[in-house]
Amino acid sequence: MFGFGGSIRRDDVGLRKLQLEFEFMTEVMPRCTCVTKRDLDKLVSKVNASLRSRIGISRE
């Protein structure tokens, strides 16, 4: 039970970091420069990997 709270906080920080990165890529960058499809694909891959690890699904 003691380690449970720490892991939730660490996961929340990771999820918040992904959320901020997504907001940056979709809202800030288009105003400054061109966001390539490759940039968005990399971000989607990162989000998918994070979600998979959070719910315990291995990549097949």
For residue 60, count other CB atoms closer than 10 A to its CB.
3
Average pLDDT over residues 13-23: 79
For the chain, what percentages of helix, strand and coil (3-state, to nearest 5) are there? 85, 0, 15
pLDDT at 8: 52
**What is the C-alpha to C-alpha distance for residues 3 and 6, in angstroms, rounded to an integer?**
5
Average pLDDT over residues 7-32: 71
51 contacts 14 by C-beta, under 8 angstroms: no
Output the pTM of the full model.
Answer: 0.39
- Regarding predicted confidence, which is higher, 52 or 33? 52
